[in-house]
Structure 1
Amino acid sequence: MSCMHKIGLKMISFLALWAVVALPVSGAEEEPSTTPVAVVERTASKLQEKLAGQQKYYAANADELYALVDEVLLPNFDIEYAGKLVLGKSHWLAATEKQRTRFIDAFYSFLIKTYAKGVLEFDQEHLVILPEPNFSKDGRKAMVFTELIIDGGDNIQVNYSVRQTNGRWKIYDVRIEGVSYIQNYRSQFNAEITARGIEAVIKRLELEAALAKAESAPTQST
């Protein structure tokens, strides 16, 4: 059985987005947008710094965990471009400007609410970043190659697609053993949008995010 199946698709998907917490802080002195490798390293070191010794606290305070992940991820994640790719060209062009914005916001919230707690479960993993990324011909995109070493000796290839936008390098896709999370979600949403329409999908994502927020809210004693 493959590592993908043993660990589970849901956890691997989260792993690809957030497991960089185990990285050393070798890039801590660099600006996050300096190089493709630096943006991955900087995101990792920031999460590591924020989570150090606080896993139990964040496990009991989901809203604060969501806020932490958002604080660290948002400056380094090109959510608008990722959302556009996930929606796909035909659905993107068919959507109104308001629907595009709502989809991007709802998709980003969906990612955080669905996978944030997984960051607390990966204390023993190590992500090794290879120093030489693969650049596109125009130099505006790159693939950062990494290897995740799981306890027990299994190695998983986790590679980050980054692009330069407004002078900053930002992550927009992650490939786990060659499987793109963008393509995975595009396939899922394409089928649902074709069957139910984009408005129904947006409302579902917004509802799921609202329910997750309500469930994470502290209960007040009477």
Structure 2
Amino acid sequence: MNRRIFNHVVGVSLSLVLLAGFAPARASEEAPDALIKRTSTEVLDAIKADKAIQGGDVSKIITLVDGKVMPNVNFTRMTAAAVGRNWRQATPEQQKRLQDEFKTLLVRTYAGALAQVKDQTVNVKPLRAAPTDTEVQVRTEIIGRGDPIQLDYRMEKTPSGWKIYDLNVLGIWLVETYRTQFAQEISAKGVDGLIAALAERNKSNSGKKS
């Protein structure tokens, strides 16, 4: 897939992940597909109404992600999966640094795409899961101009409700994409090398306009 298109679509995807902040307390009792369906429209509407995000204000987006996204995404699991087998060998401090830098990378990389949310809507497909399942895949499509865009969520059931730990854009899983990149960096320079590379990339991105 063209990297620019992938970045744009994942940016829109991350905007949909903001569903958590708009969900009431009963969200923990909702089925995962019902949660996605009910809140996605609210999130899209909120982004369309936020002039700062539309203008690509990275600091505003980071604040929004910190307050609304992180409590509702299993980001530890997402980062661990992206780092792969080396995660278990990393120290707690290294794991924290990896999570912080990975989050910043995702937000800064896709901040520009968030600003491009315009007339998209979401179609949630029927959930293929048993009532007792604790991990499911919610399949959706982003409807806008052009062909529908496949967007699937991997979610897990936790005591505090369903949480997202990976997403698939047009057949490409986000965690798998980064796992390949991270494995190459760790093989060459170790976990600290990956942390340094992410920090340098984030520093470089912070000086660019979205």
Q: Into which bin does the TM-score normalised by the smaller protein fall?
A: 0.7 to 0.9
* CA shift for structure 1 position 101: 1.5
C-alpha separation in 2, matches of 1:140 and 1:205:
32
* CA shift for structure 1 position 140: 1.2
Q: TM-score, normalised by structure 2?
A: 0.82
Q: Which of residues 81, 106, 121 is equivalent to 1:111?
A: 106
Q: What's the CA shift string for 1:8-34, capped at 9, x where partnerless? A: 22222323332578x9xxx96673333
C-alpha separation in 1, matches of 2:3 and 2:176:
21
Q: Which of residues 53, 56, 76 is equivalent to 2:49?
A: 53
Three-state SS of the structure 2 residue aligned to 1:121 is coil
The 1:108–1:215 alpha-carbon spacing in structure 2 relative to 1, beyond 3 Å, is same
Three-state SS of the structure 1 residue aligned to 2:94 is helix
Q: What's the CA shift string for 1:100-138, capped at 9, x where partnerless? A: 1111121111111111231120212222112424359x6
1:177 partner letter? L
Identity of aligned residues (%): 26
Q: TM-score, normalised by structure 1?
A: 0.78
Three-state SS of the structure 1 residue aligned to 2:186 is helix
Aligned to 1:206: 199
C-alpha separation in 1, matches of 2:70 and 2:27:
12
Asked if 2 retains the 8 angstrom alpha-carbon contact of 1:11 and 1:118, the reply is yes
1:163 partner letter? E
Matched, 1:12 2:6: no
* CA-based RMSD: 2.9
Q: Which has the larger share of helix?
A: 2
Moved more, 48-57 or 164-173: 48-57
The 1:139–1:182 alpha-carbon spacing in structure 2 relative to 1, beyond 3 Å, is same
Asked if 2 retains the 8 angstrom alpha-carbon contact of 1:161 and 1:171, the reply is yes
The 1:57–1:120 alpha-carbon spacing in structure 2 relative to 1, beyond 3 Å, is closer
Moved more, 73-82 or 52-61: 52-61
**Structure 1 residue ranges without an equivalent (≥5):** 217-222
Three-state SS of the structure 2 residue aligned to 1:88 is helix
Asked if 2 retains the 8 angstrom alpha-carbon contact of 1:135 and 1:143, the reply is no
Aligned to 2:139: 145
Aligned to 2:153: 160
